[in-house]
Amino acid sequence: MSRLGDLGARLYRGEVGYDFVGKRKFWYALSVLITIAAIAGLAVRGLNMGIEFKGGAVFNTPKTSISVSAAQDHAEKASGHDAIVQKLGNGGLRIQVTELNTAQADKVQAQLSKDLDIPQEKINADLVGPSWGKQIANKAWTGLGIFMILVVIYLAIAFEWRMAVAALIALIHDLTITVGVYALVGFEVTPGTVIGLLTILGYSLYDTVVVFDSLKEGSKDITKQTRYTYSEVANRSINSTLVRSINTTVVALLPVAGLLFIGGGVLGAGMLNDISLSLFVGLAAGAYSSIFIATPLVADLKEREPSIRALKKRVEAKRKAAAAKGEAPDYSDEGGDEPRDAGPDDETSAPDIPPAAAVAGPRSHGGRGRGRPSGKRR
């Protein structure tokens, strides 16, 4: 704790920090890779849409003593898909299985009759339409579109258009990755998944906005000074909110991880898996992208602005002059490095934190450029 509090303080004062903005190319490249993998997965494997979207077959059994969960196991084994099993008022079972053509449905019917020990002719098979109609899906898309437009307008007003653009890119990045993971893992996409995705939509932007708020505050009156470039200010903003980012991410991820690994994994609850996987991936991606993608993107965009470019020149000129006077500045000239004074004791680590953690940065540029930032102790 003491060392951690100390680290918090040093992060706050900018004595230590990870050079997020300076190493942005690495993180951009990583994100592009992940995104390409996600899109490739999506293209090759496609999404495994659940019965709620595609419809499927429904089997009605007469009164039976077989338990719902046993029937579910049988149905899932027989069909290889998620099954929805409900007990009806008359004691029979209603078993719904996704995406079966007539031939497959016959086979599943035969298999079910064997497994459940019910004569095949008593199992009534029928096709069932999607309960999550096109209409719902289409309206959800419309809603998503309208929301994105509004949020860009809002961020452009509350912050500025560059931040709005960066936040939108980060959001799309998060959603793409999450959807890609679904394609790769092959989990069935259920309404729960879609809702998980929409939750991420809110969370990802929320997290980005918290970081941007600090950036906005930090870069107030930036052109009136000549000590730091915009990129440096951006980097410092990330570092000063880093403790908050880590804590928030941990707090948000822990319960979801509980749902995913304990609820879904150990206790084996199917639908929970679908939801919590999208939440877990999305929350992690959201926290990552706010720090490693969104803010560096803003810095990139900002550095193209004439006044900010002029500022950078002035800062560089001043540093050169200072160097000439022998004041030994340890600033690097590429935007992004921090004045720092790395102590030896911040090399603590705890590997279980998402990539938002930081450790003392290298003293000079490129010292440990590829080093994954390790977490820190709590």
Partner 1 sequence: MAAPQKGRRQTGAPGKPGRTLILFLIAMIALVGGMFGAGELTPRLGIDLAGGTTITLKAKSSPGQANAVNETNMNTAVGIIERRVNGLGVQEAEVQTQGSDNIIVNIPKGTNSQQAREQVGTTAQLYFRPVLTLGPGDPSAQQPQPEATPSAGSSDSPKPSPSTSDKSGDKPADPPAAGAPSASETTQGRALTDNLKADATPTPGASDKPGPSESPAPSDSAAPPADPATEKLQADFVALDCTNEKARGALGDSAKPSEPTLACGENDGVWEKYILGPAEVGGKDVDDANATINQQTGQWIVQMDFTGGGSKKFQAITSKLSQQQAPQNQFAIVLDGEVVSAPSVRQTLSANAEISGNFTQESAQDLGNILSYGALPLTFQEETVTTVTAALGGEQLEAGLIAGAIGLALVIIYLVLYYRGLALIAIVSLLASAVMTYAIMTLLGPGIGFALNLPAVCGAIVAIGITADSFIVYFERIRDEIREGRTLKPAVERAWPRARRTILVSDFVSFLAAAVLFTVTVGKVQGFAFTLGLTTVLDVVVVFFFTKPVMTLLARTKFFSGGGSWSGLDPKRLGAKPPLRRSTRRLGAPTDPKEA
Asked if residue 60 lies in contact with residue 12, where contact means CB atoms within 8 angstroms, the answer is: no
**Cβ proximity to partner 1, 209 vs 299, nearer residue:** 209
* Residues in CB range of 345: below 8 A, 6 or more apart: 3, 6
**Cβ proximity to partner 1, 58 vs 297, nearer residue:** 58
CA distances from 58 to 67, 84, 350 (A): 17, 9, 49
Torsion sign across C-alpha atoms 117, 118, 120, 125? negative
Q: Is 126 strand, coil or helix? A: strand
Q: Is 128 strand, coil or helix? A: strand
Tell me how far, at minimum, the Cβ of 106 lies from partner 1, in Å. 16
C-alpha to C-alpha distance for 207 and 291, rounded to whole angstroms: 9
User: Considering only CA atoms, which of 283, 273, 76, 285 is closest in space to residue 189?
Assistant: 273
Q: Is 232 strand, coil or helix? A: helix
Tell me how far, at minimum, the Cβ of 232 lies from partner 1, in Å. 7
Q: Is 259 strand, coil or helix? A: helix
Tell me how far, at minimum, the Cβ of 309 lies from partner 1, in Å. 17
**Cβ proximity to partner 1, 121 vs 221, nearer residue:** 221
Tell me how far, at minimum, the Cβ of 308 lies from partner 1, in Å. 13
* Residues in CB range of 325: below 8 A, 6 or more apart: none
Tell me how far, at minimum, the Cβ of 132 lies from partner 1, in Å. 7
Tokens 């309206």 sit on residue:
139
Asked if residue 358 lies in contact with residue 15, where contact means CB atoms within 8 angstroms, the answer is: no
Tell me how far, at minimum, the Cβ of 38 lies from partner 1, in Å. 21
Q: Is 170 strand, coil or helix? A: helix
**Cβ proximity to partner 1, 99 vs 232, nearer residue:** 232
Tell me how far, at minimum, the Cβ of 264 lies from partner 1, in Å. 8
**Cβ proximity to partner 1, 133 vs 371, nearer residue:** 133
Asked if residue 192 lies in contact with residue 275, where contact means CB atoms within 8 angstroms, the answer is: yes
Asked if residue 249 lies in contact with residue 292, where contact means CB atoms within 8 angstroms, the answer is: no
What are the strands, taking DSSP E only, across 99-223? Answer: 124-128, 188-189
**Cβ proximity to partner 1, 5 vs 186, nearer residue:** 5
User: Considering only CA atoms, which of 17, 35, 109, 94 is closest in space to residue 63?
Assistant: 94
Tell me how far, at minimum, the Cβ of 220 lies from partner 1, in Å. 6
Tell me how far, at minimum, the Cβ of 203 lies from partner 1, in Å. 7
**Cβ proximity to partner 1, 184 vs 269, nearer residue:** 269
**Cβ proximity to partner 1, 41 vs 360, nearer residue:** 360
**Cβ proximity to partner 1, 246 vs 293, nearer residue:** 246
Asked if residue 334 lies in contact with residue 253, where contact means CB atoms within 8 angstroms, the answer is: no
- Token code pair at residue 314: 């002035």
Tell me how far, at minimum, the Cβ of 86 lies from partner 1, in Å. 4
**Cβ proximity to partner 1, 3 vs 25, nearer residue:** 3
